[in-house]
Amino acid sequence: MAQRPRFVPAILLLLILPLLSACQRHQKSTSVTVHLLRDLRSVYGSELDRRILDFEGSNPRVQSGQHIVIASETGDYKDMLQRQSGSDNIDLIILDSPDDASVSSAVQAALPQAVNVCAGLKACPANVPAIIPSQIGGNDREAAQKFVDFLQKTPAS
């Protein structure tokens, strides 16, 4: 009976190691991004910009420890609202007014759950609805809710 060379197991090991190292788990993201749909040209726009900076400067985190980042979606505000279908990658919608909800049945359906964030934007007595769509869950919902809670408080002057 012929003997197998002794270096075969070593060669097999060298071939398998790169495959095993390629199967490493992906590292967890260190941040949760809240995708915000808003009117960048709104009369409240510059105040919302300041509030986003204030919020992010406070080093907000979800319970898992991940940092919260706010990212405003760019594009035509009315067009983006019209395209809201409930399955979009939007975690938070801040309307200029409740009337803006009329352009989308999905946004209109979510309007009763909206909270007024006029105090945080120095826009009171105007009604500035903030909506977290119902399909948003987990860390994304928690992060969006923390930002909404922050916006409901009147900023320090």
pLDDT single digits (tens) 1-40? 556 556 555 565 556 655 555 555 555 668 999 999 999 9
Question: For position 71, what pLDDT does the model report?
Answer: 96
Number of H-type helices and E-type strands within the chain: 5, 5
DSSP state of 1: -
Question: For position 12, what pLDDT does the model report?
Answer: 55
Domain layout of the chain by residue ranges: 31-151
More confident residue, 20 or 143: 143
CATH number of 31-151: 3.40.190.10
